[in-house]
Every structure is written in structure tokens, then in C-alpha cells.
Structure 1
């Protein structure tokens, strides 16, 4: 969900002739990263963690969260919106990291970025579930764990070992659609055309009630990715009426669709919350991305933000089911005002360890292996052609 590849600085075609790209100041931006985006990703991850620990009806606590946490449960009840923020950031970052890249380079970067931490998380969560089974979640079968390692459990109808993994299938479909754009090279015109065609096709798919089209085009979630792409185009070039129109349209449609999304979240929480904070938060997300796109956050280039951003993916992958297991076993032995911050600190430490000792080294090895395999395949293909 979160790319760290550098931004390419060449300027492809755009009508009318583009103004110079926004000035990028600060160490984080010079290295091809936007530190503010890393900080925003951490905020999104912490929102989701708060939602699962303080609002979600997981059965880990001995009673309803709204009773046990009468103050904290209400703000935590909006933490599910962290997923929408992730999708918005993903549209920005994927467009940024793919500029000047081929579809093959993009595929290689996604595989090496997503799978190492994910493989570890699937195995770790499965081990915890087997050692300390939950009456609500059960114990995953070995064959289900094996399918989960492919990241294709959702389309194959297999139960995920951790509920948060549903978003990975959404991200994967976005990557596949975006890869189609990369086949001819990424330019301003093609990116805008991609946004317009995807938005129109998603509306048609929803109006037609076609499940296959909806599966591919994601009419519920596409607005965040499309808006993220438009925000990056603002960042790389200058804002213009077309990009503002795309962003405004995505915000309006996303606000409309969030009514149903909140109803689904309330089903998981077991209690109702007002809708107006949902609308305010989503608008705030778009405003923050606007500030990043226009370069207003370029002074926020502190190194710790980039380090924090690296923790978000492993934290997201491991926090839910393992955290619930810890809560279920520790509650009653450790005061809750101590248990929750200690659990969060432990999850952040675990995320750092996964990133430092598993994700980074395994990604390097996997990348080298895939590059060698690709080179060998190309050599073999040339030999076959020359006979």
C-alpha cells in the first residue's frame, strides 16, 4: 500500500505547457519521499488500531467498548476511516513512484514491497491463533493459511487469517488497473484520462448493478485512489480546473458512499455514532492532501516521520488479531489504562523489528531473485528468436 520509490524529475507532455513543478525543499523530499505523507500514513494506521482496540466488537474485552471506555470509544469509533485515508495516500504515492517506470518495474516494486512483511504477518498471526484460539475467530486451517500467503484469499473465497487483510485485495485491484496505464508510459494527459475513464466506468458499473464490473472497478473505493492521483498531478505540475474538478467530484461521491460504509462499521461496533464527524474527517483528509500537493508541508521533513511511515504497513498487518489475543489474556491482570498504551508500544516495537529484520532484507533478496529470473527469461527468449 505504501511505496518508497524515488520520484523521477522529468516532465512529460501536458496541455497547455506546464508551469515548473513545485519546489521540493528538505531532505526527505530531495530523497524522493514526502515526509508529511509518511506522518499521515502513521496517523491512518493509529486510527485503525484505535478502532479495533476501543470500538470494534471483537469479544476480546469482557463487555461492550462503549461501557468499558465511555469517553475513548466515541473518537475511536471513527478510526475505520483510516482505511479511506490509506487509499487516498495510495493513489498519490503510486502515481508518484511510477513516473518514468515501466509496468514490469512497477510489478517488481509492488511484489517486493508487499509480500515480505505480509508473509511474516500471516505466519505470525496463524501461530498465535493456533496457540491461543479464540471462540469467536477460531483456528485457521493449514490449507487456508497457505492460500492466505498468496494474498488472493478474498477472490478465492477463503477466510483471511486476519480481518484487516481485506484492504490488500482492494489495493491489488488498483495496482492492476494502474499497470494498464503504465504500458504506454505515464504522462499528464494519460493520467487524467485514466481518472476520468475509471470514474465514469465505476458509475456505470454501479448503475448497471453488474457484480463483475463492480469487482474490477470498485465503485465504492475508487474515488480515493482517483483523488490521490489528481493530488499528485497537482504536486508535480500546477493545479488547474480539471484537477480541482476531479478532486471535488471524488469528495462529493465519497461522502455519499460513506453513509453505507458507516452503517457497515456500526454493525461491527454494535453501536450507532453520529454521521457528521465522518463527513468532517473525510473533508479534513482531502484538505491535508491538498496542503501536501501544493507544497505547504515541505518544511515538515523531519527524519522521524519517514521512520514512522516505515512502521505503518507491518503495524497494520499484525495489530488486530494478535492485539485481541493479548487483551483477552491480559485484561483483569493488568489495569486497562496500563494495558492499552503498553500494547500499542509493543505493537510499534514489533512493527519496527519486522521492518528492520524481515521486511527490508527479504525485500532485497526477493528483488534480486526476481531481477535475475527476469533477465534469464529475456535471454532465453532472445535465444529462441535467433534460433
Structure 2
């Protein structure tokens, strides 16, 4: 079986990254359809004997790809441009979904009078979500009788963690640790050890809205993506290694430690399927990069479906109704909001068109 060096593939516009992110975003909808409809055990949780969910896998995929692409982006921009690029990619879409949630969804669905709704402090404090500060999940009188009560957008909890990863990468990039590679690897090893030895009770500690365990875990996936980029000149994409990774994941799915195996084997598979051989799914991006829009619109759409059908839905029905509606919102989010913001990035950047393309393909 032939192998290919990663560095030989990453500069091509023809890759499967958009497709992988799209699948991950859809998996989040699948995963959320279970708690939203009152089902206790999610599909992959059953398959893996309670080790993980499709949602957890999807978020990990996002962070691996993000670590890889954001590392690439940092090397093609200065610190000021890097910060601006991240703001333009992340915030415009979340601003719009927050405004629509507070000023459209809330007034239409609240059980309160409009006067009571708009006088309630929680209505206006929800706007903090637009800046990903102190995430608030509910609005007064909205979805209070749903099976999964009050939560309007449970997906956005990961976005503040991603911002922390951006900040951390900017710091290590400033000191040249991305180019050196060993610095990123050393940081990964330190956090991996900490995540392994810290007691579970302490990992459950909430630090200013961040769960320590979730923070360390997501940083590890982000750094794994950064490691793949830093060592791109040495890493080979070999089918036999990919097959070995699949076998390991299947075994650990039944015997245990699947999450630990996925950190290494899953990350390799993500990069392998993104860049190895002919990128047969690269054309999916011609419709737009819909994964971020899917991620931030799906949960409220699923809750609306549940509310509209009087909580009488199954995970399958909720998913099948919610998916096309969410895709519509994601399509308009990309073409009317996200793409327009990226045009401003293009106008203010000194980077080449190819570098812009790399920046556009950022993870959520």
C-alpha cells in the first residue's frame, strides 16, 4: 500500500475537511435528538457500552481539525490579523443567532406576556451569549414544558473553550513553538499527564464557567491537531496505519478506553481521511461551509420541533424533521452572514488567495 507525506497534501484545495465537518455537525443533531426527546441512552452510547456519544465524537473531530487549521492559519498571518480572522469567523454568525433567539424565537414561544418577557432581566442577559461570555441556556417562559426543559441552544457550550484554545495557540505561536513542533508536543504531554492524574472530583470543578475536565480534554484534541500540522513533514498517511487505527477503535469500543484510543487513533483517521488519496468529497464545499451554521442552529430547531409536536416525537422523527430545516438556516447563515464577514477578512489581509482559502476552511 502506498503512503503519502502529509506536507504533500495540505496545501491542496482538494481535501475532505468540509465533508468531515459536515458529518460531525450532523452527528451532533443525531446525538441531541435523544435527550431532547427524553431518551436516556444515545445510540453510540449503547454501541460503546456507555463510553461516549456521537456528540462527544463530533466535538472532538471539530477540535482536532481546528487545531490543525488554526495552526496553519497562524503561520500565514501576524498576531493582529490572526485575532481579526478568528473574530470574523466565529462571532458574526453567533451574533445573528443570538439576536434571532431573543427577539424572534423568544417572543413567539414564551408563555409570558410580551411585557413580562421584555421586562425580565434574563431576556437581556441572554445577549451575553453573542460574545460567548457566561453562557446562558434559557429564556423566560421558553420551552419550559419541553422534555428537555428551558435549554434553547445547548450546543454553544463548546465555543468559549474553542476561544481559549485560540488564545493559547496565539501565545505558543508568538514564542515560535508551533514551528518548532517540540514545544506543542511537550505541552500536549504535560496536559495529558495532568488529565490522567487529577482526581475525577477535581476534574468536575467549575472554573468561571469552564469544567476543568472538559477544558483539558478539548485542549488535548486541539493540540493533537496542532501536532499533526507541526510534524507535517514527518507524518505519513498510510492505509495500513489507518486500518490499524480502525481495529483499535473497534476493540476499545467493546473492551474499554475508547476515548483514550480515539485521542490518538481517531485523530490520525481524521487527518488520513481528510488528505489521503483523491478527495472525492471536496466538491461539497461548493454549497458553502455549512458546518458552523448547522452547529449553532440545530439545537433550537430541534427544541422547536419537540415543542410543536407536543413532546410526542422519537429521536428519529426529531432528527428527520430538524435536519432539513437546520440545513436551510445553515445555508443562509453561510451565504448572508459568514461569507460576507470573510470578504472583509479578504479585504484587510495581505495573504494570498490560497491562504484565504485555508482560512475560510476553519473549524467551528
Shift of 1:47: 1.1
Residues 1:132 and 2:123 are matched in the alignment: no
> Which position in structure 1 is the counterpart of 2:184?
194
Residues 1:167 and 2:158 are matched in the alignment: yes
Shift of 1:107: 0.3
TM-score, normalised on structure 2?
Answer: 0.67
Describe the shift of the 1:187–1:226 C-alpha distance in structure 2 as closer, same or farther (beyond 3 A): closer
Residues 1:108 and 2:99 are matched in the alignment: no
Name the SS for the 1:35 alignment partner: coil
- Residue 330 of structure 1 contacts residue 339 of structure 1 at CA under 8 Å; is this kept in 2? no
Cα separation, 1, equivalents of 2:226 and 2:198: 24
> Which position in structure 2 is the counterpart of 1:149?
130
- Residue 36 of structure 1 contacts residue 300 of structure 1 at CA under 8 Å; is this kept in 2? yes
Cα separation, 1, equivalents of 2:235 and 2:346: 36
> Which position in structure 2 is the counterpart of 1:238?
234
Bigger radius of gyration among the two: 1
> Which position in structure 2 is the counterpart of 1:176?
167
Describe the shift of the 1:281–1:196 C-alpha distance in structure 2 as closer, same or farther (beyond 3 A): closer
Cα separation, 2, equivalents of 1:239 and 1:284: 14
Name the SS for the 1:152 alignment partner: coil
> Which position in structure 2 is the counterpart of 1:97?
73
> Which position in structure 1 is the counterpart of 2:324?
345
Greater RCO, 1 or 2 (C-alpha within 8 Å, sep 6+)? 2
Describe the shift of the 1:123–1:322 C-alpha distance in structure 2 as closer, same or farther (beyond 3 A): farther
Which of residues 114, 118, 122 is equivalent to 2:94?
118
Cα separation, 2, equivalents of 1:200 and 1:280: 18
> Which position in structure 1 is the counterpart of 2:362?
none
> Which position in structure 2 is the counterpart of 1:51?
31
Which of residues 51, 54, 61 is equivalent to 1:79?
54
Name the SS for the 2:216 alignment partner: coil
Describe the shift of the 1:296–1:366 C-alpha distance in structure 2 as closer, same or farther (beyond 3 A): closer
- Residue 49 of structure 1 contacts residue 79 of structure 1 at CA under 8 Å; is this kept in 2? no
Which of residues 202, 217, 220 is equivalent to 1:220?
217
- Residue 67 of structure 2 contacts residue 223 of structure 2 at CA under 8 Å; is this kept in 1? yes
Could you give the per-residue CA deviations for residues 77-128 of structure 1, whole angstroms, max 9, x where no partner exists? 7212211121111111111222232111110110000011111111223332
Alignment RMSD:
4.4
Name the SS for the 1:220 alignment partner: helix
Cα separation, 1, equivalents of 2:160 and 2:335: 25
Aligned length: 302
- Residue 231 of structure 1 contacts residue 289 of structure 1 at CA under 8 Å; is this kept in 2? no
Describe the shift of the 1:23–1:220 C-alpha distance in structure 2 as closer, same or farther (beyond 3 A): closer
Shift of 1:223: 1.4
TM-score, normalised on structure 1?
Answer: 0.64
Cα separation, 1, equivalents of 2:300 and 2:318: 16
Cα separation, 2, equivalents of 1:140 and 1:304: 46
Cα separation, 2, equivalents of 1:301 and 1:47: 20
Cα separation, 2, equivalents of 1:203 and 1:186: 20
- Residue 298 of structure 2 contacts residue 322 of structure 2 at CA under 8 Å; is this kept in 1? no
Describe the shift of the 1:121–1:181 C-alpha distance in structure 2 as closer, same or farther (beyond 3 A): same
Q: Unaligned stretches of 5+ in structure 2? A: 139-151, 237-244, 350-364
